[in-house]
Amino acid sequence: MPRASMKKRAMTALVVVPAVAAGTLAVGLSVAASQGELGGEPVTGQPLVEPPVLKSRGGRLAVTFDARTSVVSIGGRKVGTWAYNSMAPGPTLEVFRGDYLQITNRNNLPEQPSNLHTHGLHVSPEKQGDNVFVNTPSGAAFTNKYNIPDDHIPGEYWYHPHRHMFTNQQVGAGMAGMIYVRANTPEERELDRYRTRLMVFQQFQVDNGKVVAAGQKSTAPTYTYVNGQLKPVASLRPGEIQRWRLANLQAGSFIRIPVPEGMKAWLISTDGNPTSRPIPLSSMLIPPAGRRTILVRAQSAGELTVQNIPWGSGFQAIPQQDLFTARVAGTPVVGAKLPALPAVMPDLRGEPVHNSRTVQFSVGTPAPGSTAPNFVINGMNYDQWGKKNLALMKLNTVEEWTLTNTTDEYHPFHIHVQPFQVVSVNGQPVKGVEYRDTVPIPPMVNGVPGKVVIRQRYTDFTGRFVFHCHILFHEDNGMMAPVRVVR
């Protein structure tokens, strides 16, 4: 990874406070109900509306998130849920490389602790940085301060709560939003020529005007919404090339999107990490937390349906659903060309490996007297790891990790602070240079564990952070482990 020239700014001391008793999403929804009639049938076919954007000015962006029981618009009707600033998804934050970002997270959730994680950002994991060991109880606030490196990878990232044991419920309620890091390079200016659209995917089950909380049962239908809308419409002209930013911010569900007939698509970024050229696509499997930036073009007028098609089995099976409509109409665009993209991500496959590790994702035996699932990494759940670290990685050295999976489910591996290069999947080498911050580990088949090999070089920052399965139910039930980067 490129080294960063960090701006020196003083940071106040970190104060960690004890946790309080957990509540449920239902607590406090009577407050939401008092704000007006909730529920009704969802509305479809509305023009796509993107979340509001909060932009840095003069190298600084300071925002406050108010996490509380709120009435938000989901599917064109009022719905009670937990949200940041009464929006689901939350506002998009836009900063430039070298900027200072400050987020004050006010936890007004009823009886439940929280905190904040900036997923994918290459920033310090310590003190008031991207520190997911922070605990902010109900009624308290904590301010995160991030110095964005001068050479940060420009791209699409996101934020969400990361308080262990409460992450699934809070993200599933809608507490998430996007972060853009911009660079103002010639390549970025070239991409800015294309009309850009953001599609944030979140999954909600709405019953009696309220989002059904994780663990609660309901017979109400579950839909994947786009920017809080159900089956909206995005317009483009025949022959026009648009840039679509697709973000799967669902708490635990994959998305499988085929490119509809009559449209062409090219991948230009995975999890914020640029490709070296536009790569033709026929379909995409986007894991929970995954982002894909693509260029699309449709030559002929008409309406094209973008779908989430069936995939997976058991608990991971997803049904078919229309996500949104691409309406191709208007004056045709002639001569639109794909961009030239430079190779900017280093290929670690030819570099010396300082350390090799095997990391196994599996299911352990529940604790005596407990019926709760026990998801483990290298045989231990998160609580068992305690103050120990699964790995001590030396700054500026390359490590190769073999990620294995002995269960019958996919586990999306995510590690904080910096992306990694995917080397192979189930023994098949990856073509080209592919970087991600979240990659699914395939399930075990016929007794053979699924396997993904990655390489990573941690730069710029020392400190302690975590990696985990980004199916947040798995994470909350133990599938997370701490690591530390040292000098």
Q: How far is CA 279 from CA 191, 257, 282, 339, 460, in A?
A: 15, 16, 10, 11, 30
Would the CATH topology of 191-328 be identical to that of 348-486?
yes
Given this model, what pLDDT does residue 12 score? 32
Residue 200 forms beta bridges with which residues?
Answer: 247
| 251 dihedral zone (left: phi>0; alpha: psi -120 to 50; beta) | alpha
User: Measuring CA to CA, which residue among 462, 471, 343, 350 is closest to residue 400?
Assistant: 350
Hey, which CATH number is domain 29-185, 3.40.50.10800, 2.60.40.420, 3.50.50.60, 3.30.530.20?
2.60.40.420
Strand pairing category for 480-486 and 438-441: unpaired
pLDDT at site 36? 57
pLDDT at 326: 98
Per-run averaged pLDDT (10 residues), the chain, 487 residues: 38 34 41 65 97 98 98 97 98 98 98 97 98 98 98 97 98 98 92 97 97 94 98 98 98 98 97 96 98 97 98 94 98 96 93 98 88 94 96 97 98 97 98 97 98 97 98 97 98
Quick one: CA torsion of 67, 71, 72, 78, rounded to 10 degrees? 170
Longest dimension (CA), the chain: 68
Round to whole Å and give the CA distance between 135 and 227.
Answer: 29
Give me the residues paired with residue 267 across strands: 279, 294
CB 345 within 8 A of CB 155: no
Q: What are the residue ranges spanned by the domains of the chain?
A: 29-185, 191-328, 348-486
Instruction: Retrieve residue 127's tokens.
Output: 């003190």
User: Cα angle at 229 between 228 and 231, to 5 degrees?
Assistant: 145
In the CATH hierarchy, which top-level class contains the domain 191-328?
A: mainly beta
- What is the C-alpha to C-alpha distance for residues 485 and 487, in angstroms, rounded to an integer? 7
Are the beta carbons of 459 and 3 closer than 8 angstroms? yes
SS3 475: helix
Pick the CATH number of 348-486 from 3.40.50.1000, 2.60.40.420, 1.10.645.10, 3.20.20.70: 2.60.40.420
Among 116, 97, 233, CA closest to 177: 116
- Tell me the β-bridge partners of 57: 60
CB contact at 8 A, 257 and 283: yes
Residue 219 — φ and ψ, nearest 5°? -95, 5
145 and 129 Cβ atoms separated by less than 8 Å: yes
pLDDT value for 5: 38
Element (H or E) spanning 405, and its range? strand 398-405
- pTM attached to this predicted model: 0.92
pLDDT at 369: 81
Q: What is the pLDDT of residue 393?
A: 97
Could you give the 3-state DSSP secondary structure of residue 412? strand
Buried b / exposed e over 456-478, threshold 16 CB at 10 Å, is bbbbbbebbbbbbbbbbbbbbbb
Number of helices (H), then strands (E), in the chain: 5, 33
- Report how far residue 230's alpha carbon sits from residue 233's, in angstroms, rounded to the nearest whole number: 9
Give the single-character DSSP code of 433.
-
Find tokens 């002929």 and name the residue: 300
Question: Residue 176 in contact with residue 90, Cβ under 8 Å?
Answer: yes
Cα 401 to Cα 404: distance, rounded to the nearest angstrom: 10
